[in-house]
Amino acid sequence: MSDTVPAVVVGGTGYVAGELLRLLAAHPHFRLAAVLSDGAPGEPVATAFPHLACAYPATRFSTEAEACAALAAAPRAALFGAAPHGVSAALIDRLLLAAERAGREIRAVDLSADYRYGSAAAYERVYGQPHGAPARLAQFCCALPEHLARPRAPHVAHPGCFATAMLLAAAPLIARELIEPQLFISGVTGSTGSGRRPAEGTHHPLRHGDLYAYNPLAHRHVPEVVALLQALTGVSVECQFVPHSGPYARGIHLTLQARLRRPLGEEALAAHLAEFYRGAPFVRVLSQPPRVKDVAASNYAHLAARTGAGTVAVLCAIDNLTKGAAGGALQWMNRLFGLPETCGLTAPAAGWT
């Protein structure tokens, strides 16, 4: 594209929105047109995100009306949703409706859970509340960019951060019928995965130097993962997941274990993973177990595998804010506008974070 596409970010003061702003600041084809925050309209973006002051020295958070106007002002625009679940559905629906009434071409990628399920009933079973825009669900599809070549709808719902790591590790094993369809998964996430609002689980003095499980065998990403794996492979899987809170800010390290259907050596297993993700520019299959610092603040995912005693362990490291959220969303938006999916996302990990 020779011109730039205006982008509107919803959910302005949250960590994921801040990561979207960071990525958009360096993108050659998207430019920030508005960043919507219900709680801080008119406040400088640099107040919430001082590290972004050099990129947005004069930008202020917008009202919903201003965001609608930004979407309606250009022939086409990109809408990124980073509002919490339960809020995002109705808000995105209103913004899309305003753009549609103006005859604009809009593409949306939502990072909340609100558009990840195919029906309002499925969403309500997991989140225990009515869906905010059930009529809009048919216009969204949910998948990782690595698992769906072409979206089946005009808009995309990106899987959650833990779900991203689980799907990257599990999909090749299930799709190639290498394992029994029963997954045992343990994952550790950084404190940014819990959002910006302070809570006992994210307060630094309590979290620093500690490691503990939360919602064991009851995490809400599990039904999402099961549904997406079945849609991708046609296989119904059981998934037992124990998430943990790690003593660091960003990154996910995940271990998936399952029983092999037939004997398989580590080299052969690594070859299966590499072949499955051939052409996936952000997935790297390693010979050694991955480390969070090697992917933190990047859109890359590192995988490694081990076999023994008839079982397999696949290890996955991603950044929860980038590959697990904002980077994955931008990867999708690049595709939706016919850009190379790597555009604006090839920066290496920060290291030493």
Give the active site residues: 161
CB of 104 within 8 A of CB of 78? no
* Rounded Cα distance, 44 and 56, in Å: 9
Which SS3 state, helix, strand or coil, does residue 270 take?
Answer: helix
* Rounded Cα distance, 234 and 341, in Å: 26
* Rounded Cα distance, 317 and 304, in Å: 9
φ, ψ of residue 42 in degrees (nearest 5): 90, -15
> Which residues lie closer than 8 Å to 48 by C-beta, 6 or more apart?
12, 13, 18, 37, 40, 61
CB of 99 within 8 A of CB of 106? yes
Token pair of 32 as six digits: 């920030």
* Rounded Cα distance, 70 and 64, in Å: 10
Angle between helices 161-175 and 266-276 (to 10 degrees): 110
* Rounded Cα distance, 233 and 160, in Å: 19
* Rounded Cα distance, 99 and 75, in Å: 9
| Cα-based distances in Å from 202 to 96, 197, 288 | 34, 9, 30
Q: Which amino acid is at 321?
A: L
Centre a 10 Å sphere on the Cβ of residue 210 and count the other Cβ atoms it contains. Answer: 10
**Can you say how many angstroms the Cα of residue 58 is from the centroid of all Cα atoms in its chain?**
28
φ, ψ of residue 55 in degrees (nearest 5): -90, -30
Query: H or E segment at 351?
Result: none
CB of 312 within 8 A of CB of 269? yes
